[in-house]
Chains A and B, each alone.
Chain A
């Protein structure tokens, strides 16, 4: 369970995020939607303790994220390309992340093998460094690395951006399966309304740092979101 408690972030006088309370129960797939500058990435960065909130606190499975680092053991994340180590090959990168997450070589190999279809022969065995891969392929590697080591919480910022249509569809399947047995809490942000509504049980809309909508996903959700954003 993740509790976001009166989190705000101000830079000078500009308030970029001001969230009262959001509670994300275990096993929920949580979608964050909003236009540019709505504060999605800022919220995720605070959740991952990469920036400090001006006020408030976030607890991740009873761990307050900016006082203890224990949350790192059960949280996998991919925010942007800066999460990749450019001079490694994808295999070496998975091995490195696997090492940090307590997986041995065989574990890593078995885990990676599950994503053969998702990788579509463009990641493994290519003898290329991550920095030389295309944006989409970098993203694939980053997302899979975020899923390594049985995380309880997975945080993905804009996972669908830059992916080709086939991979988008495959990713949706992977994410849905991930939360099937309600063990893993998934947080994604996206600009693509139809993708998030398909993947997420719950959607929160941010606008200029404030929560303006908090909806349980239903058949009507996509229409509702579309009408909100076209207004």
Chain B
């Protein structure tokens, strides 16, 4: 049975319409994965000797144990934010002669092999091997290592429970707060006690079986929860939300681009992913805080310029780079309606400019860091409005990947292709370079002036640029219709 499912997964991966085109991203992600593995391996081997060197008085093994509670809690928080629940397209299997229990077991087992579970092993296993080499008792180390693996798996299943179940999440939150309170007021040395538990397991490896009991209990709870969901009305059909129909008639002031702007506002507000992009752009406002407060960047003006572009550019960058893929699901329909393509593009442009302006106004508190920083943000905002929004519209004509708006928000890379990586160069590096060049060779203020002037120039040339962009979109119309029609 499992082999059937595995075969299907394999085919799903290799036969997805986007496979050929996104191979570049997969390779890139692969390299990133390899890099992480290498880092973990390196840390796993080096941790013992490193700790010995810095803390010659203490046993490195005991030190690591004392930190395990933090590692596990950190792991859980990280997973809660990042790890997606195991999903499988179960509809086709429901009516086939397959036990529903098997489907659930498969989905759960699959999650056991997720990236998050495997990564840790690249640290703990080499670390255990080093321990054995350094003369620690073999059964003890094996028991310890087994317990860690069991705990990682338990965290995996615990995460799914708290993700799905509000009570479990609440209980965990209370426990975490309790933990921090005990730490804060030093009521009780929880990590130390927890670490002693691990020392104890090392001495008496048989107790690592407790981890197995915990894992089985959590697995069982997950199983029960998922098993009750293996019905069409539960797992497949999402709850139908009542439409929120805010009155947007005030937009009609904007003339013939108004229908598209109205549509885009609804697009942004009613879909998870676009909503995430929208809300994220306000988080980007704080990007500057990281750079402006760090001494390391004080003297590196181009880096500060880079940060300043992000402060006001969050929306333009994140929304703009996927134009017109946001409309991919109904692109055919748009193409059979009578309107000038220009209107469609103008509305997107208008939206980017309006949002950048809003973000710029919200960035006024940065005056606190001095006029230089604020001038930089101003230059960045002008550049975002003038150059970046037009450039992103142009770059959008290279988008060939469908975005399914009903799929989730954060961490969703659907629609991402090499285009997204390539456009970063002119968007970000070009103004940095401009700034650096003029700042270095001509003088301080010329940096701002040139970046802002480029923005203003582009803004003045908008009509010419738009003509050019419109032509490009019309030329690529068929290729886009074809690509957007394919399921990714």
Chain A, 100-116, CB within 8 A of any chain B CB: 100-101
Q: How far is the CA of A97 from the CA of B260 in the complex (A)?
A: 11
- Interface: A230 (CB within 8 A): no
Q: How far is the CA of A48 from the CA of B332 in the complex (A)?
A: 9
- Interface: B339 (CB within 8 A): yes
**B263 closest partner in A (C-beta):** A96
Could you mark each residue 72-83 of chain A with 1 if its beta carbon is under 8 Å from any beta carbon of chain B, else 0?
A: 110101010011
**Is A96 within 8 A of B259, CB to CB?**
yes
Q: How far is the CA of A127 from the CA of B240 in the complex (A)?
A: 10
**Is A51 within 8 A of B482, CB to CB?**
yes
For chain A, give the interface size range: 20 to 34
- Interface: B262 (CB within 8 A): yes
**Is B263 within 8 A of A85, CB to CB?**
yes
**Is A51 within 8 A of B262, CB to CB?**
no
- Interface: B3 (CB within 8 A): no
**Is B485 within 8 A of A129, CB to CB?**
no
Q: A82-B333, A87-B405, A101-B338 are in contact. Are A127 and B262 (CB under 8 A)?
A: no
**Is B478 within 8 A of A51, CB to CB?**
yes
- Interface: A69 (CB within 8 A): yes
CB B406 to nearest CB in A, in angstroms, measures 7
The residues of A that contact B481 with a CB separation of less than 8 Å are 50-51
CB A95 to nearest CB in B, in angstroms, measures 8
Q: Tally of A-B residue pairs with Cβ under 8 A? A: 80
- Interface: B293 (CB within 8 A): no
- Interface: A84 (CB within 8 A): yes
The residues of B that contact A69 with a CB separation of less than 8 Å are 338
Q: A96-B263, A100-B259, A132-B240 are in contact. Are A89 and B245 (CB under 8 A)?
A: yes
Q: How far is the CA of A72 from the CA of B259 in the complex (A)?
A: 17
CB A152 to nearest CB in B, in angstroms, measures 12
**Is B243 within 8 A of A128, CB to CB?**
yes
**Is B485 within 8 A of A82, CB to CB?**
yes
Q: A82-B485, A87-B271 are in contact. Are A92 and B266 (CB under 8 A)?
A: yes
CB A102 to nearest CB in B, in angstroms, measures 9
Q: How far is the CA of A88 from the CA of B266 in the complex (A)?
A: 7
**Is A83 within 8 A of B332, CB to CB?**
yes
Q: How far is the CA of A87 from the CA of B240 in the complex (A)?
A: 12
**Is A50 within 8 A of B330, CB to CB?**
no
The residues of B that contact A49 with a CB separation of less than 8 Å are 335-336
CB A71 to nearest CB in B, in angstroms, measures 8
Q: A99-B259, A127-B245 are in contact. Are A87 and B336 (CB under 8 A)?
A: no
The residues of A that contact B267 with a CB separation of less than 8 Å are 87
The residues of A that contact B332 with a CB separation of less than 8 Å are 50, 79, 82-83
Complex A-B, nearest 5 residue pairs according to Cβ-Cβ distance, in ascending order: A72-B338, A99-B259, A83-B333, A87-B270, A73-B338
A sample of 9 cross-chain residue pairs with beta-carbon separation below 8 angstroms, ordered by A number, consists of A51-B481, A83-B336, A84-B330, A89-B243, A92-B245, A96-B263, A100-B338, A127-B242, A129-B241
Chain B residues engaging chain A, CB cutoff 8 angstroms: 240-243, 245, 258-259, 262-263, 266-267, 270-271, 329-333, 335-339, 405-406, 478, 481-482, 485
